[in-house]
Each structure stands twice: as C-alpha cells, then as structure tokens.
Amino acid sequence: MLTIARPLYSITRAGLAGIMLVMALTACGSGKWGFPYRPDLQQGNWITAQQVAQLQPGMTREQVRYILGTPTLQNVFRDDRWDYPYYSKPGYGETELRQFTVWFEGDTLVRWAGDDVPDRQPFEKSDTGMDEKVK
C-alpha cells in the first residue's frame, strides 16, 4: 500500500506545481503588464480647458506663460507664435497628439487655436464617483 501512495503523491505534487507555474505565467501576459514592458511616453505641454478659458485677448506674454506654462516650441524667426504640442504614446494603447498655438502682436495676445483640450489633468480620475449636486 505504501509503495502505491508514494508515486501517486509525487505525480500529484508535480501536477500541482505545473498548474501553479502555468497560472503564474499566464497572469504575467495579461493586460498592461505584458512582456515586453513598454513604458508610457509623454512629451510636451498638457493644456486643460480651464487654462484655455483664462486666456483673454490683450494679455502679455508673461501672463500667457503663467497660465499655459513655457511653450515647447518657439520659432526664432517668428517670435509672434508659441506652440504647445502634446504627444502621448502609452506602452499599450492608442497614440495621442494634440496641438495648441497662441499668436501675439508685439507683446500682446491676439488669438489662439488648437485641438480639443481635456477638462482634467492626466493624474486626475475622469470619474470621481461623486453624484453631482442638484441645484
């Protein structure tokens, strides 16, 4: 009886170890944590709708820099235009490219244009879980 139990125990132990190994390896390949690791890549200025709403014609360059931040691109030959590009390439997902530009005459802001801008910062959750207050 003892000689039959020992091989059965060894087979069961080896089978359980194999199942655990397969489960561990399949967990590594699912979702964002797959192999090979691909880091998220973000470059440029993240501009929100709140920042754009603060812009007003006639603002100085320093006021615009305070609201939007230092521009990523400043053309040496055309100093009347500041460009704020944003590029995001997640390790696993769709690439996002946005462009926002402001124009000056002299030292004053005359106009701005660009792609649709988000309502939130990248670190903020899109859904807070809070119900909106009824007015």
Q: Tell me, yes or no, if the pTM score tops 0.85.
A: no
Whole-angstrom distance, CA of residue 71 vs CA of residue 84: 5
Higher per-residue pLDDT: 132 or 71: 71
Instruction: Say if CB 90 and CB 43 are below 8 A apart.
Output: no
Q: What is the pLDDT at residue 103?
A: 94
Residue with token string 């920042």:
51
Question: Which residues make Cβ contacts (< 8 Å) with residue 46, sequence separation at least 6?
Answer: 86, 118, 121, 122
CATH class of 41-114: alpha beta
Instruction: Say if CB 103 and CB 91 are below 8 A apart.
Output: no
Q: What is the pLDDT at residue 26?
A: 66
- Count of CA atoms in the C-beta half-sphere (13 A) of 39: 3
Q: Which of 98, 73, 68 is nearest to 83 (CA)?
A: 73
At 70-109, the pLDDT tens digits run 998 887 888 889 999 999 888 778 888 999 999 999 899 9
As beta bridge partners, residue 38 has none
